[in-house]
Chain A
Amino acid sequence: MPHEIDPSFLALPLRALADAALARARALGAEHADFRLERVRSAAWRLRDGKPAGSSDTTDLGYAVRVVHGGSWGFASGVDLTMDAAARVASQAVAMAKLSAQVIQASGSDERVELAAEPVHADRTWVSSYEINPFDVPDADKTGLLTDWSERLLAADGVAHADASLLTVQENKFYADTAGTTTTQQRVRLHPQLTAVAVDPDSGEFESMRTLAPPVGRGWEYLAGAGGWDWDAELAEIPELLAEKMRAPSVEAGAYDLVIDPSNLWLTIHESIGHATELDRALGYEAAYAGTSFATFDQLGKLKYGSEIMNVTGDRTAEHGLATIGYDDEGVAAQSWDLVRDGTLVGYQLDRRIARLTGFERSNGCAFADSPGHVPVQRMANVSLRPAPDGPSTEELIGGVERGLYLVGDRSWSIDMQRYNFQFTAQRAFRIENGRLAGQVRDFAYQATTTDFWGSMSAVGGPQTYVLGGAFNCGKAQPGQIAAVSHGCPSALFRNINILNTTQEAGSS
């Protein structure tokens, strides 16, 4: 039974404000105008060693008017929920469009903003899939559970410290545009994390081990195991894994075959495929900040992204996905599509302006603004690596490796501004010797160039290995915006990847 939209959001003067703003924009000659009112509530709790170490509960309420006027964008936002103020904000947006047009004119450019067509979605409502809204759960229950979990970790031998955190978000958006689309939506997501720390006071060495449980578009039921996450098992195994990591030898740098667990691979997908297939980036609109992409538009349908078993989709429809919506922030209905098929680049992520500019008939619905004060930009869909229908288990993938590493859990990440050169670490790395796990190693990082890496993928696991990972805090655009996004993937095998020893990297010559 899907939830209703929060009545306290529906009680806001959504349509009246939209009417006032859109009428003013029309009257001032805007070719297009959209109005977006948002209320985003984000709450967080942190515990150190089982004791409250900080909390926040922030609600951001406001609205924005975006116009295309005289072929230029104009954007303004406000917080005063009166018709006069909404109309005034629309006037400010038009004024910004005029300022923008002056600068464009001075530069000698003749570029005009036009938007790809989208069917009108009149008066639609959409609510994400969850059972218990975390904001309906008493705070004491939340901190109580985190305290219990922290104490379980602290009770184990070798655990010196335990850090715990829980982030919860309820996002409500109302959107209306001059074409007649009106949508009202509600999403809920949360992210629990626990980290155990071991310290050897004599040597000064320390290590940490974090839970693998991904952030999800679910409710409080996730912490009771919904979606199949076994919290008890995960918390029980962390101390021993941490103790083993403290004792583990330093990795020998060199080339290894890697079996990468979904808990690690999702982030590599995010950085090397997700961002690289954003068409605004590929065209240069993020060139001064987030960067561009090696996967340039002229290579669509031609670029060999990876091996032939590589199939990647973009979607805003996966149940419990963090980028899943009903309609995007330009009124475009959620879709799913191919980005990489049989190893070849076949698609991009689009918004309406970029779609029109590049000859696509329709946007695939990737416009998103993280708050009422920010303009929608093209943000990442759920970008996921498809499993092989009859593919192997993780154990079978490991069984096919003579000398390698099995990497689990994300940790450090970095990739260059064109999405070529990346370096990742993991929560844990197990040596693989003759098809069997042979204990953890420390001080490892894997480094590769994107197309070489995906070209070396020699096997993908089956659906039984598939996990939807993700993040709350993907950054893009100026002013900076964050977005939550999920990435599903199976375990996968990569041949001959460069492993660094980070202690050697840190040494001086």
Chain B
Amino acid sequence: MSGVNKPHEIVERALELSRADGCVVIANETSTANLRWAGNALTTNGVTRGRTLTVVATVDGGRGTASGVVSRSAVTAEDLEPLVRAAEAAAREAGPAEDAQPLVEAGGGAAASAGFTDAPDETSSEVFAAFAPALGESFAQARAGGRELYGFANHEVVTSYLGTSTGLRLRHDQPTGSLEINAKSPDRTRSAWAGQATRDFTDVDPAAIDAELARRLVWAQRKVELPAGRYETLLPPTAVADLLIYQFWSSAARDAAEGRTVFSKPGGGTRVGEKLTELPLTLRSDPAEPGLEAAPFVIAHSSGDDASVFDNGLPLTATDWIRDGVLNQLITTRHTAGLTDLPVAPGVDNLILEGGGPRSLEEMVAATEGGGPCLLLTCLWYIREVDPATLLLTGLTRDGVYLVEGGEVVGEVNNFRFNESPVSLLSRATEAGRTERTLPREWGDWFTRAAMPALRIPDFNMSSVSKGV
């Protein structure tokens, strides 16, 4: 077997070795580079490369089809046979899989991706060739300006090669990058944050981000203490993304049909078809969305509530989860689509909310009229579910809650703990702004591809004051 080392060769060889009734092989070639800094100085860094091979074996039996899944990193040709046999043994020991479906067939034009036999894309420390010196200059500038910079720059490229015993040969290259910069006053009583998702770091400008953070630290020089309560609040795109990503993760059709989520209908069934907001908002995913490109087919390393290994290779298409304010679709596998009588709609690795007005967040600040105080948030943090029935989430405001008066920021308010449900927020929002690319701060480790508008909420529930900065 010497010479079997390229990813597509590994996939082909594993499929040849299979003695099971069905087999899916996924080779993920991953390379990463990262820089981390604190107090205007680099701290940790790293570059990594690796390969993970996942073998899904399916075994037909009298009572149904079972699946076994085994994944290994650092796989060489010599490791292949034991790995395939281990997956087959796991399938034979497992009972019939509830989500069993015929493996996705080749055909329909999507069977073979271009470049399946080509080498993987990869990243290295070179991705920071222009960014790293610029970052160093930002450190010097921040030091001179009395600011401390903290943050993280991460770049990852994953090339997935997916082959099946039914003839699929698919490849997807997924670059994912993010930059987060946090600026603090030396006494750490003032803190500001900005983040950006990027595919290749050619579109990031640390100096510009540092300048924006400097402006926000100046805003924070005037402190205003406010008690807990309900406030008119402008949620920036990153906060909207974090809330709606959690909602997205909570929108598995089967759970809803079983009566155990916010999308369950009393009396049975789901809330699909129900109006969730009077605003003409559409929440959607699209693997081909420009700038947010994501895998156009299912890559499932294990089965779960909203994914099935049997669906590997299934084409993913543009899906409206909410259309013009109406709940349109919940996440399904082929199996759960059958259980719930909903169309097949597996999750896609991006999320876009649109249908708001033309205003940017700055224009929404300028358009804020008198009445009570209005809060402009920077981002949300430590978001956790409190009650699945309402999808009540708790969490904190972080790195800048600004007081808006007369259409401009007039100072910084203390942080708060909030208790709010994204489903309820959509129903209460009085304005949505212009949709823009954003980095979800809370879930950025898992989900970076988002485009959201800012939302104006008339009565956001700030449950208690947090002394944290």
Identify the A interface with B (CB < 8 A): 44, 46, 48, 51-62, 72-81, 92, 95-96, 99-100, 102-109, 111, 138-140, 143, 147, 160-161, 197, 199, 201-206, 208, 284-289, 291-292, 294, 373-375, 377, 412-421, 423, 425, 443, 445, 447, 449, 475, 478-480, 498, 500, 502-503, 505-506, 508-509
Contacts of A111 in B (CB 8 A): 41
Q: Can you list 9 A-B contacts (CB < 8 A)?
A: A51-B98, A54-B304, A55-B94, A79-B74, A202-B267, A204-B266, A416-B417, A478-B152, A502-B386
| Docked CA distance A138–B86 (Å) | 12
B48, B304, B461, most chain A CB atoms within 10 A: B48
- Measured CB to CB, the closest approach of chain A to B146, in angstroms, equals 14
CB-based nearest A residue for B416: A421
CB of B32 within 8 A of CB of A479, answer yes
CB of B182 within 8 A of CB of A502, answer no
Contacts of A106 in B (CB 8 A): 133, 136-137, 139-140
CB-based nearest B residue for A293: B468
| Docked CA distance A245–B386 (Å) | 16
- Measured CB to CB, the closest approach of chain B to A275, in angstroms, equals 11
| Docked CA distance A79–B69 (Å) | 22
Identify the B interface with A (CB < 8 A): 32, 34-52, 66-74, 86, 89-90, 93-99, 125, 128, 132-133, 135-137, 139-140, 143, 148, 150-152, 154, 180-182, 184, 188, 191, 193, 230, 258-260, 264-268, 301-305, 309, 381-390, 392, 394-396, 398, 415, 417, 419-421, 424, 428, 445, 458-459, 461, 463-469
Task: From A78, A294, A421, give the contact of B49 (CB < 8 A).
Answer: A78
Given contacts A500-B419, A502-B392, contact A417 B382 (CB under 8 A): yes
CB of A96 within 8 A of CB of B39, answer no
CB-based nearest A residue for B99: A53
| Docked CA distance A509–B93 (Å) | 54
Given contacts A420-B466, A423-B394, A479-B34, contact A288 B259 (CB under 8 A): no
Contacts of A475 in B (CB 8 A): 445
Given contacts A96-B47, A421-B465, A508-B459, contact A52 B94 (CB under 8 A): yes
| Docked CA distance A95–B96 (Å) | 51
Contacts of A288 in B (CB 8 A): 38, 150-152, 180-182, 193
| Docked CA distance A203–B37 (Å) | 52
CB of B266 within 8 A of CB of A505, answer no
CB-based nearest B residue for A72: B42
4 new A-B pairs (CB below 8 Å) besides A143-B95, A202-B267? A76-B46, A80-B74, A99-B132, A415-B382
Task: From B74, B137, B394, give the contact of A62 (CB < 8 A).
Answer: B74
A59, A72, A147, A284, most chain B CB atoms within 10 A: A59
- Measured CB to CB, the closest approach of chain B to A88, in angstroms, equals 11
CB of A108 within 8 A of CB of B143, answer yes
- Measured CB to CB, the closest approach of chain A to B311, in angstroms, equals 12
CB of A478 within 8 A of CB of B259, answer no
CB of A103 within 8 A of CB of B139, answer yes
Given contacts A58-B71, A106-B140, contact A421 B468 (CB under 8 A): yes
Given contacts A99-B45, A421-B396, A505-B419, contact A479 B154 (CB under 8 A): yes
Contacts of B264 in A (CB 8 A): 204, 206
- Measured CB to CB, the closest approach of chain B to A45, in angstroms, equals 8
Task: From B128, B139, B386, B459, give the contact of A109 (CB < 8 A).
Answer: B139
CB of A55 within 8 A of CB of B417, answer no
CB of B36 within 8 A of CB of A478, answer yes
Given contacts A204-B266, A509-B459, contact A143 B94 (CB under 8 A): yes
CB of A414 within 8 A of CB of B93, answer no
**Interface of B, helix, strand, loop or mixed by DSSP:** strand
Shortest 9 CB-CB contacts between residues of A and residues of B: A106-B136, A204-B266, A107-B139, A54-B303, A418-B468, A416-B468, A79-B74, A288-B150, A288-B182
Task: From B52, B260, B419, B467, give the contact of A197 (CB < 8 A).
Answer: B260
- Measured CB to CB, the closest approach of chain A to B103, in angstroms, equals 16
Contacts of B428 in A (CB 8 A): 508
| Docked CA distance A388–B32 (Å) | 49
CB of A161 within 8 A of CB of B303, answer no
| Docked CA distance A423–B259 (Å) | 26
Contacts of A109 in B (CB 8 A): 40-41, 139, 143
Contacts of A53 in B (CB 8 A): 97-99, 303-305
- Measured CB to CB, the closest approach of chain A to B386, in angstroms, equals 5
CB of A416 within 8 A of CB of B382, answer yes
CB of B38 within 8 A of CB of A102, answer no
CB of A445 within 8 A of CB of B182, answer no
Contacts of A502 in B (CB 8 A): 386-387, 392, 419
- Measured CB to CB, the closest approach of chain B to A202, in angstroms, equals 7
Task: From B68, B73, B180, B396, give the contact of A79 (CB < 8 A).
Answer: B73
Task: From B70, B133, B463, give the contact of A500 (CB < 8 A).
Answer: B463
Contacts of A417 in B (CB 8 A): 381-382, 396, 398, 468-469
- Measured CB to CB, the closest approach of chain A to B178, in angstroms, equals 9
| Docked CA distance A208–B265 (Å) | 18
CB of A58 within 8 A of CB of B384, answer no
CB-based nearest A residue for B461: A505
Given contacts A53-B304, A57-B70, contact A414 B154 (CB under 8 A): no
CB-based nearest B residue for A109: B41
CB-based nearest B residue for A97: B45
CB of B188 within 8 A of CB of A292, answer yes
- Measured CB to CB, the closest approach of chain A to B278, in angstroms, equals 14
- Measured CB to CB, the closest approach of chain B to A236, in angstroms, equals 23
CB-based nearest B residue for A76: B47
| Docked CA distance A108–B469 (Å) | 27
CB-based nearest A residue for B193: A288
CB-based nearest B residue for A44: B302
| Docked CA distance A288–B148 (Å) | 11
Task: From A55, A95, A418, give the contact of B69 (CB < 8 A).
Answer: A55
Given contacts A55-B69, A203-B266, A416-B415, contact A96 B468 (CB under 8 A): no
Task: From A48, A77, A205, A413, give the contact of B384 (CB < 8 A).
Answer: A413
CB-based nearest A residue for B43: A285
CB of A414 within 8 A of CB of B396, answer yes
CB-based nearest B residue for A80: B74
CB-based nearest B residue for A271: B382
Contacts of A100 in B (CB 8 A): 35, 42, 45
Contacts of A52 in B (CB 8 A): 66-67, 94-98
CB-based nearest B residue for A103: B136
| Docked CA distance A479–B46 (Å) | 9
| Docked CA distance A111–B387 (Å) | 47
| Docked CA distance A106–B152 (Å) | 18
